[in-house]
Amino acid sequence: MPTPVRRIAIIGGGPGGLYAAALLKRLDPGRDITVWERNAPDDTFGFGVVLSDETLGGIEHADPKVYAALCEDFVRWDDIDIVHRGLRHTSGGHGFAALGRRRLLAILHTRCRALGVDLRFGTEAPADLARTHDLVVAADGVNSTTRQRLGHVFRPHVTPHHCRYIWLAADFPFDAFRFEIAETEHGVMQLHGYPYAPDSSTVIIEMREEVWKAAGFDEVPAQESTENCAKIFAEALRGRPLRSNNSTWTTFRTVVNAHWSHGNTVLLGDAAHTAHFSIGSGTKLAVEDALALAACLEEQPSLEGALAAYEAERKPVVASTQRAARASLEWFENLGLYLDQPPRQFAFNLLTRSRRVTHDNLRLRDPRFTGAVEREFGCPPGTPPMFTPFRLRGLTLRNRVVVSPMDMYSATDGVPGDFHLVHLGARALGGAGLVMTEMVCVSPEGRITPGCTGLYSGRQAEAWKRITDFVHTRSPGTAIGLQLGHSGRKGSTKLMWEGIDDPLPEGNWPVVAPSPIPYKPFNQTPRELGRAQLTDIREQFTAAAWRAARAGFDLLELHCAHGYLLSGFLSPLTNRRTDAYGGSFAKRLRFPLEVFDAVREVWPQERPMTVRISATDWAEGGNTAEDAVEIARAFAAHGVDAIDVSTGQVVAEEHPEYGRSYQTPYADRIRHETGLPVIAVGAISSWDDVNSLILAGRTDLCALARPHLYDPHWTLHAAAEQGYDGPGVVWPDPYRAGSRRPQTGRTDAPKPRLTLGT
């Protein structure tokens, strides 16, 4: 039974508010619905609106009349043009539809009036609507007064960003969605343009704040800067001028709200959330909000239940879109990093920047373009990027997949046993180019838990040699690497499944750290290391590295991440020393670099060494992405072969921003600012992601953890699913009968969210 809502007030006459009014009136013609809009009917500060096929499908099912009216005015096109350094690369098959924002509003005005919605323009919404109406829909935009007034309930978080942009228009239609890069004396500027009418295009000019100021755009009227932009992008504009609609330069702000409703008031569209214009999502999200809100009011028996269902349905979708939008936004903010990429790789990188468009998706849309990118990258015919080889010092990996280090907590007295043989052996048989051990500890006191492995005795070394021999004999061509570390203040804790980072109830050993700061209040307070103890620990690392070389490991990684001992020296949050090993950035680097040098000295010269770092502490006052670049440069100066880029786990009070491949931007930045090879890690879960990241040049290798727990033969299966059978991955002879992907049953597409008919 639908929610009994009779009187509805909608604040804001944008597309989201108007469409919500039309849908709610259609569902119940007896409702009294009023839209309050402070501006005039044809006031709008944008030009064109892009809608996806998915959004249009929802509109078609919910209101065929609106859909039909939109279709009469749509400009449609398939291509994206990327113009950089005089070269234009075109990718097709994308399927865009756009129309003028004023035309969209006019269509919705007509529909609302035909249904009997009361539209009140040029009128501020009264403050007491929640008292006089059953439901108040706040669709009053990014500067929502409703959200501000009830900020203590909605708890908004507004994040400003680093670029300035301005919405303009040109009086001719682009024949594609056009991205053009201009390298000016003041810095990099970019044009985003697309047609929205037979004779008009939206043009957005964007640049970093410092470039905007260097160009003098902060000191001249907007019209003068508009004229200057037309000159800068004269070729793209065919010598035509740009026009404004009271346009001003602004910075994009990402809006996130902890809650979307309070009592009978609910947020919709930009009032609830924003997503950067570079993925064309604002109107799309608002329209989809309206669809979901109308459906939930129809499905739920109470208003409270309907608003809770609306928020539960939309929040995950919006969060996913905002993650994609943020990735796109940051790509354009850091555009200067990619200017020297090969031309087609640059274009591919731009197209896949949000992670919504991927290698496989783009290959389906435009196989000729994607094939050209692959050839430029060096992929042999029929070879996905992930199965191209990669060389580190004297080691050539046959593919770009790494089994990420994963603590198994299954050793006895630091000795890896049958479990480790089967665990690591299975992943080696599974096709990855490089299989990494868990963090192997350099001393009994350097273990995280009693179940952690070590390399501080001959017995342990013999057990590790048994494993490396198996990998080299039974999976020839697969490399096995050792991650070497010391737990520091995070040691002497329970096995992960018994209570991660919780102290042992008995049998504790003393823990050490750069400074006497416990990881959590209930953890041990570590002893601050003195000079003599630092020397001892450095020698423990070198002794373990010497044993690792004799045990047959192909690569050694020094663990300087996740708050363990060496990471503890790097972070200002955990290193409060006042001697030569603490204080300044260079001093905090000193001990990790000393350990690296000592290990490199005993590690065979032809074998590579990598370092894992936490590229951000995710905490105020901690290391940042900028610091990570400098840390990587420091290790590069000492001869590191690659940086394995993780984040966080340094302090308990961190605030990570999780999401698909969420740590990759840090690897990307280090790679492009330092020129070092990098290993990306963190929520990379599909072979399509791996191909996309490799081909875009954001990383050199991809390390996957949980996917290899779910499927030890992940890489073999990735090859089978892509129809690849080449030297980049080799099926063990006993397994070759399983090298074809099994048949699966069909799956049906989901039904439309809301279907009302004509």
Tell me the catalytic residues.
564
Nearest alpha-carbon partner for 531 in 582, 598, 603: 582
Structure tokens at 31: 């409702």
Structure tokens at 73: 């005015």
Tell me the backbone φ, ψ of residue 154, rounded to 5 degrees: -70, -25
Structure tokens at 180: 């053009």
CA distance 752 to 567: 50
CA distances from 182 to 205, 218, 336, 572 (A): 10, 19, 11, 39
Nearest alpha-carbon partner for 279 in 318, 316, 248, 314: 318
Structure tokens at 108: 């919705």
- Tell me how far apart the terminal alpha carbons of the chain are, to the nearest angstrom: 22
Indicate the SS3 state at residue 502.
Answer: coil
Residue pair 684/657 in contact (Cβ under 8 Å)? The answer is: no
Residue pair 191/235 in contact (Cβ under 8 Å)? The answer is: no
Residue pair 679/667 in contact (Cβ under 8 Å)? The answer is: yes
Nearest alpha-carbon partner for 666 in 394, 334, 434, 441: 334
Residue pair 681/405 in contact (Cβ under 8 Å)? The answer is: no
Helices within 233-352 (DSSP H only): 282-299, 303-333, 343-351
Burial class from Cβ neighbours inside 10 Å (0-12, 13-18, 19+) for residue 53 reads exposed
CA distance 590 to 269: 50
CA distance 326 to 328: 5
Q: Identify the sign of the CA torsion 49, 53, 55, 59.
A: positive
Q: Identify the sign of the CA torsion 581, 586, 589, 593.
A: negative
The residue length of the chain stands at: 758
State the DSSP code for 495. Answer: -
State the DSSP code for 751. Answer: P
CA distance 622 to 633: 18
Burial class from Cβ neighbours inside 10 Å (0-12, 13-18, 19+) for residue 532 reads exposed
CA distances from 236 to 81, 88, 173 (A): 11, 11, 11
Label residues 644-680 b or e (16+ Cβ within 10 Å = b).
Answer: bbbbbbbbeebeeeebbbbbbbbbbbbbbbbebbbbb
CA distances from 270 to 16, 256, 506 (A): 9, 9, 54
